[in-house]
Chains A and B, each alone.
Chain A
Amino acid sequence: MNTKLYTVIYVVLFVSATVQVLVEFAGLAYWTAFALIIVLSAMKAVLVAAYFQHLRWEPRSLTYLIGIGLAAALALTFAASYSIL
């Protein structure tokens, strides 16, 4: 693990944050822009977790642990929102 790799990751994150805002101003349809923006956020989150929190090199159990928490939160969010549609 070296500084160079981390620097590359950092630059990618920085750029994609900028792109995210540009998408908003690109005049796309709302839900297209929505999907793009959320995907960009998710991608950045995965990069930070995989490299900065070095989950890539840890036992997979830690990833699953966070995944379970995330699944619980998403279940709550989606099922609750869907129930009132």
Chain B
Amino acid sequence: MTDSAPGSGGRDDPAHRPDGGQQADASTAAGELTVPARKSDYEEAASEFPSMGSIRRWFVTTNHKDVGILYIVTSLFFLVLGGVLAWLLRIQLWAPRTPTTTVLEPLAYNQAVSAHGLIMVFWFLSPFAFGFANYVVPLQIGAKDLAFPRLNALSYWLYLFSGILFGVSFFQGGTFAGGWTMYAPLNVPTFTPDVGASTAVLALTLFVASVTVSSVNFLTSMHTMRAEGLTLRKLPLFTWSILLTVWMMLFAFAALLAALIILSSDRLLGTTYFALESPAGSMLWAHLFWFFGHPEVYIVFFPALGVMAEVFQTFTGRRIVGRKWFIAAMVLVALQSFVVWMHHMFLTTINLQIKTLFMITPIGISLPFDLMVFALIYTMLKGKIRFTTPFLFVFGALLLFIIGGITGVFLGAIVLDYEFRGTYWVVAHFHYVMVGGVTALVGGLYYWFPKMTGRMYDEFLGKLHFGVYFVGFNLLYFPLFVAWETPRRVFDYSAGLQVWHQLATVGAFVLGLSFLIMFYNLTKSALSGDPVGDNPWEYATTAEWAVPSPPPLENFPGLPTYRDGSLGFREESTATDGGVATAEAATPSAAHHDEREEHVSHASFWPFVVGAGTFLLFLGLSGLRDASFPEGILGSAYLGTAALGGVVTLGSLVFMGLEPFHGPALADGEAWPFDGLEYGKVGMWIFLASDVVLFGGFIGAYVFTRVAFGWTLWEPIPENPVPGLVNTYLLLTSSFTVVLALVAAEKRNRPGLVASLVATFLLGVGFLGNKAIEWNHLFHEGLWLSSNVRASTFFLTTGLHAAHVIVGLVVTLYLAARAWRGAYLEDSSSVEYFGLYWHFVDIVWLFLFPLFYIL
């Protein structure tokens, strides 16, 4: 029963997902699987789809190329926003300021510092890179689209709305003012009481949701949809860099999600994880944040590295020297990135053994970068280098990165790090690295611009942009090394450093204004530049240059294959395998889709609505403080907004699930290491892996807090383990009934299936009911979320688990209703995937029970 053949997965059930159907098109993706046999299908598809010029197109599109363009345009908007904030900072730093001579009030300065960091790191850098990833990766791997196109659109809308929500936070008394690192306990309402600070945290949480959806989607696609012959080691370097980036994202952002949920709970519900009275709240935040934060450095830098490699190869006309070592180096960095986080905490109370260990690991991670830099430099030898705009930018990026890297080695020596901590040395260093990365990505924008628009940018203006940009960059950041004694986020620096700060401020304006040249150039060229053919760049090798500019909706003229050692296209019909027939008759809803709907879908309005719904929901929740809304009309407004948002989110998810949508067909190319598994199953397991880290973060937070408190001094909150034991029985039994449901579905036993699902539902309700009684009891004993940190960890961790149970029950109800009408008997995979989720929730409880009830 478990080993379904590839292509036979006909699941059209939207709500079998833990996230309530977010990944609904997992089902349809491989579900009503139909491979368009004729080119006319594909033209037909195009004709029903609004044209590029239509506004509607951009709200409904699920096509990876459109989504890529949306990401790029939106991220550039956030670049401008973050840049304007940076200008404000640099104006303030024109002279040392006393309290009476500030331009920005101190708190406003802190807000600008924090918002600048958050916007640039989260809402500009990664999304800018993921614009390219969306556009280019499917082309480079030979796929028509990502595995779950609607989830891709959903990622974008969650991203956009999270950014808008962050913008709203400025108008709710002021946004978050505790720095982008959000150190505790400055991050709790005791010290940052503005509602806007809560909104900023929620906006970041929503952004993380977008990243998680996107990571699952990219990983599933990149592992299972590669063209024949395109094994992992044959992937182009840009795609490799994205693959590793997404893997890091999956785990790192799950840890950040744990941190942010806990922080949101501290801010909105009144738990006390990070509060002043928590035994080690400050340290807990630092661990959780940097466990995410260090991989994040590579998450934002890797795509730039990938762009550098692609552009170097094209414009030097030489293949990358030591390509396989380049890949190996990236893999090593990605793995090690999770064991270096404490080098951000050398001056905290961590012990010497840990300091030694976390001095060694960052050195270990810096060495592979040396190799990559040398590989790029040696690639130029014997080349035929053309100094076009893209090459100038990546060449400049490499130069900047070398400076960033060398100054980073200084920080690797702990004795120096002690003194650099909290100074402009750190600021200058990471701007050289991160904005160095931006430099490469700007090169990528010029590189792929002709592909995306079909027109060439103006080369002279491009070079001019580079010249002004490069001068501005160094004028801005290099003086900061000289003025390194300036404490970070301080505007009252010593007068002797003023000249350097003034140079930097001039540089900031030069750098910022250089983008006007780019905006002018690209806008004008997009409308009236010289048209280009498929491939304007001599020596480009990757598949996106083998198709028209811009590529047609479904990318390729046939099925891409590398069987013969280079790119070719096969007739699509030959690609079908036995699975298709099975799939077509899969479910009732599939049966009534008539023939003309067989092509791949590209439009869905629901991702946008889900995004809007979550925006309202989170905006409403921002008004919470200590688990209650403020009195009066304002409180009612927040409550109403939250309720409306909740209804819209849930409703649109259901509609999205019920909507007939055909994702791209299950490919028969390379799928290592997930050969023979369907998209849906791979996606579910990848999601569960990130959920492991989410719960891991929660359990880690509990263990850490308890260790700091004194492990054996800590009494479990429930005095009696029996209610917990009863709940263990209930959940174990419900796992068993889910297994019975699957067995029944496979035996085409409808009553058995329905009965098992209903039993599961009732057992889950029993679990929640029992928990409600227990919580009510504790509440009456005077124990609640905010009582103390023991109670906080108990209620929040088991609460997160209960939330997973509730989502599972909603899905169970949906499955039971569909099963009643005869679904899942032909194809039981929805039941199977739901089961994976439900058993996972069961496993989590198997650990929560002893940790919170008996130990």
Contacts and interface: CB of A to CB of B under 8 A. Distances in A.
Question: Taking the complex as a whole, does A directly touch B, i.e. does some CB pair lie under 8 Å apart?
Answer: yes
Interface of A: 1-3, 6-7, 10, 13-14, 17-18, 20-21, 24, 30, 34, 37-38, 40-41, 44-45, 48-49, 52-54, 57-59, 61-62, 64-66, 68-70, 72-77, 79-85
Interface of B: 1-3, 251, 254-255, 280, 283-284, 287-288, 291, 338-339, 342, 345, 349-351, 354, 673-677, 685-686, 688-690, 692-693, 695-697, 699-700, 703-704, 707-708, 712, 721-722, 725, 728-729, 732-733, 735-736, 738-740, 743, 835-836, 839-840, 842-843, 846-847, 849-850, 854-855
B280 to A, nearest CB: 6
Given A18-B725, A75-B339, A69 B736 contact: no
15 contacts: A3-B740, A6-B740, A10-B732, A20-B850, A21-B725, A45-B846, A53-B836, A57-B3, A69-B693, A73-B697, A76-B255, A77-B704, A82-B351, A84-B349, A84-B350
A77 B703 contact: yes
Given A3-B743, A48-B846, A59-B673, A14 B685 contact: no
B688 A66 contact: yes
Contacts, number: 164
A57 B3 CA distance: 8
Given A49-B843, A53-B836, A73-B697, 14 more contacts: A6-B736, A6-B739, A21-B721, A40-B850, A41-B850, A52-B839, A69-B251, A69-B693, A73-B699, A75-B339, A76-B288, A81-B704, A83-B350, A84-B351
A63 to B, nearest CB: 10
A83 B854 contact: no
B707 A84 contact: yes
Query: Closest 3 CB pairs between A and B?
Result: A73-B696, A69-B692, A61-B673
A48 B735 contact: yes
B251 A20 contact: no
A52 to B, nearest CB: 5
Contacts of A2: 743
Tell which of B692, B722, B738, B849 has the most Cβ of chain A within 10 Å.
B692
A40 B57 CA distance: 55
Contacts of B693: 69, 72-73
Contacts of B342: 79, 83
B696 A82 contact: no
A65 B689 contact: yes
A2 B1 CA distance: 10
A80 B701 CA distance: 9
Contacts of B287: 76, 80, 83
A82 to B, nearest CB: 7
Contacts of B707: 81, 84-85
A53 B842 CA distance: 11
A77 B1 CA distance: 37
A34 B855 contact: yes
Contacts of B674: 59, 61-62
Contacts of B1: 1, 54
Nearest to B735: A52
Given A20-B850, A66-B689, A76 B697 contact: yes
Contact of A52 (B676, B721, B835): B835
Nearest to A10: B736
